[in-house]
Structure 1
Amino acid sequence: MKKIVNDPEAVVQDMLDGLISAHPDSLKQLPGSTAIVKKDAPVTNKVGLVSGGGSGHEPAHAGYIGEGMLDAAVCGEMFTSPTPDQVFEAIKAVDGGTGVFLVIKNYTGDVMNFDMAAELAEAEDIEVEKVVVNDDVAVEDSSFTTGRRGIAGTIFVHKLAGAKASAGGSLQEVKRIAERAASNIRSMGMALTPCTVPAAGKPSFTLDEDEMEIGTGIHGEPGIERKSVVSADEIAEELTGKILDDMSLNRGDEVAVMINGMGATPEMELYILNKKVNQLLTEQEITIHRTFVGNYMTSLEMAGCSVTLLKLDEELKSLLAADSGAPAFRV
């Protein structure tokens, strides 16, 4: 294992220290916690937004803290959900008096622990609502989930719900937007190489040099097919085709596209993939409103990618275009 780390058991705290050092004017870490919050939190009369999950998916989730997006992100250990107490502390830290909204990826540990944290908050008269994002069309159940997994499409939910909260939306209005966004997002990913959790010291799975996995999750969970490596165009056709089969899109509909790298994929390759995705959507007479290409939700140093489509309406387009102060998401 070759990684730029110190103690493999301390990578999360070292990372968070470095994150705060990079953004000291906008971010702070809660004492004794792995929760990162906006430095001006809580904001009176603004709905607070909290997300999080296991570390190893950077820039998710702390990279999306900022004006117009999240107010806090709770960073668990590598590929491990944060504890209910950690999430509870983040909820309290961002409560401005009008409630707190949770954006949760559909993984069993995340759903359970965020739900427990919400119960703790409600016992202290903090109103909490949530959305569970399950955008991955690859598999219905996996080793980490009941139902579909939450992957890179979660970032669009952060953006849209965060924009609504920053515009003064009520807790129920933020929930409405988040649920509408989540119901109109579909994603699918693939991997060329595995990733290595530092404390484990060995890859999470194996692929031969000429193999790839279609439908892989963001923790290296199995996908739907392992086969020989094919061209970028063929990968784009398979991922986009399965997404379109699962979405209700008609001619003239508008979408936002996210071509997401899994950590070790050069942007050159992501743009090559995007060329074909753009062509496929254009052939279907689906209008591409905006395209995002880069590393948005990774899996350590895994080589691979995911494709996400978000079906838009006028309100969602407006919220997508709203300013974002998050380091990892600029519009």
Structure 2
Amino acid sequence: MKKLINDPAEVVDAALAGMAAAHPELRVDVKQRIVVRADAPVAGKVGLVSGGGSGHEPLHGGFVGLGMLDAACPGEIFTSPVPDQIQAATTAVDAGAGVLHIVKNYTGDVMNFEMAAELTAAETGTQVRAVVVSDDVAVQDSLYTAGRRGVGATVILEKMAGAAAEQGRPLAEVARIAEAVNARSRSMGMALTSCTVPAVGHPTFELGENEMEIGIGIHGEPGRVRVPLAPARDVAQMLLEPILADLPFTQGDRVLCFLNGMGGTPLIELYLMFDEVTRILRGHGIHIERSLVGSYVTSLEMAGCSITVTRLDEELTALWDAPVRTPALRWGI
């Protein structure tokens, strides 16, 4: 195992300390493991809290800031944050307008966020709502989930719901936006290699030199099928066709297309893949109105990518375009 670490047991805390040093605009509590925007709580504003296992950076701490999340809770690598941690983050961003929890559909995350919401409501009376992200078309149930996994749409949902909250919309409206994004988004991913959790020290699964896994999850879960290595144009087809059939997307749709790297794939390959995706969508009569290309929901050093397609309308497009200032996403300011 070759990694830039000291002690495998201290990776998360050490990374949070580094994040605090690099981003003084954030309040990083290494002991409680929460990342909060410096001006939180913002009077009259709905607070947005998300979180999940570490190892998916910049998700979620990299998306804390104006126009996106108010707080993030990183758990151990590929492990849900605990209820006390989530409760601390929720309390830290509560300005009296309520708090929205954005939860990826993994069993531990859903359970711990529910518990934290109940504890917060009982102790402080804070109104907490949750939206569960479930955009992955690869599998219906998996080792980690009951129902579809939450993957790439999480970033899009956090951005659009964050913009709605920044505009001062009430909790019910911010939740409506989040639910609409989830309903309009579909994703699928693939892997060329596995990843290695530092505390484990060996790859999560083995892939031959001439094999790839289609339909993987972000924790290194096995995918839908293992197939021989193929050109990028074929990979794009394997990922996109199930996405387009599932919503279903139709000719004339305007979409946001998010081509995400899993952590070990260089940007040159992601842009090459995006060209193939563009060609396929154009062939279906689907117009890419907005795009995002880069490694935003990673799985440590896994080589591979995922595609997320979100059907847009005027409201969602405006929310995507709204100003955002976070460590990992920044425009309009």
Name the TM-score, length of structure 2 as normaliser. Answer: 0.98
Cα distance in 2 for partners of 1:217, 1:15 equals 23
Could you tell me how far 1:121 is from its partner in structure 2? 1.1
Query: Who is 2:181 aligned against?
Result: 181
Cα distance in 2 for partners of 1:125, 1:147 equals 31
Query: Who is 1:266 aligned against?
Result: 266
Matched AA of 1:29: V
Could you tell me how far 1:99 is from its partner in structure 2? 0.3
Query: Who is 1:329 aligned against?
Result: 329
Query: Who is 1:90 aligned against?
Result: 89
Query: Who is 1:257 aligned against?
Result: 257
Q: Secondary structure at the match of 2:306?
A: strand
Cα distance in 2 for partners of 1:96, 1:44 equals 5
**RMSD (Å) for aligned C-alpha atoms:** 0.8
Please list the CA deviations of residues 204-238 of structure 1 after superposition, one character each: whole Å capped at 9, or x if unmatched: 11111111000010001011111110000000011
Query: Who is 1:214 aligned against?
Result: 214
Could you tell me how far 1:249 is from its partner in structure 2? 2.0
Q: Secondary structure at the match of 1:76?
A: strand
Could you tell me how far 1:30 is from its partner in structure 2? 3.1
Matched AA of 2:232: A
Cα distance in 2 for partners of 1:191, 1:55 equals 19
Matched AA of 1:50: V
Cα distance in 2 for partners of 1:31, 1:298 equals 21
Cα distance in 2 for partners of 1:44, 1:96 equals 5
Could you tell me how far 1:31 is from its partner in structure 2? 6.3
Query: Who is 1:78 aligned against?
Result: 77
Q: What does 1:196-235 align with in structure 2 at a 5 Å threshold?
A: 196-235=196-235
Cα distance in 1 for partners of 2:44, 2:153 equals 28
Could you tell me how far 1:176 is from its partner in structure 2? 0.6
Runs of 5+ consecutive residues of structure 2 not aligned to the other structure: none
Q: Secondary structure at the match of 1:40?
A: coil
Q: What does 1:25-36 align with in structure 2 at a 5 Å threshold?
A: 26-30=25-29, 32-36=31-35
Percent of paired sites with the same residue: 55
Please list the CA deviations of residues 32-52 of structure 1 after superposition, one character each: whole Å capped at 9, or x if unmatched: 300110111111110000000
Aligned residues: 330
Query: Who is 1:297 aligned against?
Result: 297
Please list the CA deviations of residues 66-108 of structure 1 after superposition, one character each: whole Å capped at 9, or x if unmatched: 1000000000000000000000000000001100001000000
Q: Are 1:125 and 2:125 counterparts?
A: yes
Q: Secondary structure at the match of 2:143?
A: coil
Q: What does 1:94-105 align with in structure 2 at a 5 Å threshold?
A: 94-105=93-104
CA contact (8 A) 2:16 2:30 kept: no
Could you tell me how far 1:285 is from its partner in structure 2? 1.1
Cα distance in 1 for partners of 2:263, 2:96 equals 38
Query: Who is 1:59 aligned against?
Result: 58
Matched AA of 2:250: N
Matched AA of 2:157: V
Cα distance in 2 for partners of 1:210, 1:273 equals 19
Q: What does 1:127-206 align with in structure 2 at a 5 Å threshold?
A: 127-206=127-206
Cα distance in 2 for partners of 1:250, 1:208 equals 37
Q: Secondary structure at the match of 1:243?
A: helix
CA contact (8 A) 2:271 2:293 kept: yes
Could you tell me how far 1:248 is from its partner in structure 2? 2.6
CA contact (8 A) 2:191 2:303 kept: yes
Could you tell me how far 1:194 is from its partner in structure 2? 0.4
Name the TM-score, length of structure 1 as normaliser. Answer: 0.99
Could you tell me how far 1:298 is from its partner in structure 2? 0.1
Please list the CA deviations of residues 8-37 of structure 1 after superposition, one character each: whole Å capped at 9, or x if unmatched: 10000000000010001x101236300110
Matched AA of 1:30: D
Could you tell me how far 1:252 is from its partner in structure 2? 1.5
